[in-house]
């Protein structure tokens, strides 16, 4: 069973995400990097990055804004999908890719990604639950789905994403 209200939260979030992405892209990352997530029920300002994947079906570049943390020299994102029992599309796309592109504020990178495992995953998960406490509830709601913890490491600087 998904996190109570997760489908409603995802639905309410669509307009927010569209507007957030537009601000991030139109400003070159000056706006949208730090975002008010009170629409999720958490009264907090959080950092977000833009992750670019290539659609595994469409072959098109796709962007998604994600809450992030920074742990052990790597950016961390969580493939939670608000506690859904299925993985988010961006994660399924990412699994098909060797390299990744992501933008943090006004800096954009080409780099590598990996999925945390074992004790590292547990430590990074605990850290990210401190960044965004609902993650703990999301894992419980996701049922048998183990929510992936993704680590991003830059290899080169590149131009920021364009609208």
DSSP string, 48-105: EEEEEEE-TTT--EEEEEEE-EEETTEEEEE--GGG-SS--HHHHHHTT-SEEEEEET
Per-residue pLDDT tens, the chain, 163 aa: give them.
444 555 665 566 778 888 999 999 999 999 999 998 887 777 889 999 999 999 999 999 999 999 999 999 999 999 998 888 889 999 999 999 999 999 999 999 999 999 999 999 999 999 999 999 989 999 888 889 999 999 999 999 999 999 9
Fold exhibited by the domain 6-117+129-158:
Pnp Oxidase; Chain A (2.30.110)
| Model pLDDT, residue 15 | 83
Domain spans of the chain?
6-117+129-158
In this prediction the pTM is: 0.89
Angle at which helices 118-131 and 134-141 pack, to 10 degrees?
130
pLDDT at 1: 42
User: What pLDDT score does 9 carry?
Assistant: 58
Give the residue among 93, 63, 66 at the shortest CA–CA distance from 160. 63
């Amino acid at each position: 069973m998904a996190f109570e209200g997760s489908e409603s939260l995802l639905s309410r979030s669509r307009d927010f995400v569209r507007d957030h992405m537009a601000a991030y892209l139109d400003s070159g990352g000056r706006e949208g990097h730090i975002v008010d997530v009170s629409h999720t029920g958490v009264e907090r300002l959080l950092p977000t990055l833009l992750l670019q994947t290539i659609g595994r079906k469409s072959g098109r570049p796709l962007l998604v804004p994600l809450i992030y943390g920074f742990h052990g020299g790597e950016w961390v994102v969580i493939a939670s999908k608000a506690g859904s029992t299925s993985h988010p599309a961006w994660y399924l796309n990412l699994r098909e890719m060797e390299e990744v592109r992501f933008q943090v504020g006004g800096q954009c990178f080409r780099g590598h990604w990996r999925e945390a495992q074992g004790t590292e995953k547990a430590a990074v998960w605990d850290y990210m639950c401190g960044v965004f406490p609902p993650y703990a509830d999301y894992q419980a709601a996701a049922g048998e789905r183990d929510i992936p913890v993704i680590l991003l490491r830059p290899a080169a600087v590149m131009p920021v994403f364009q609208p």
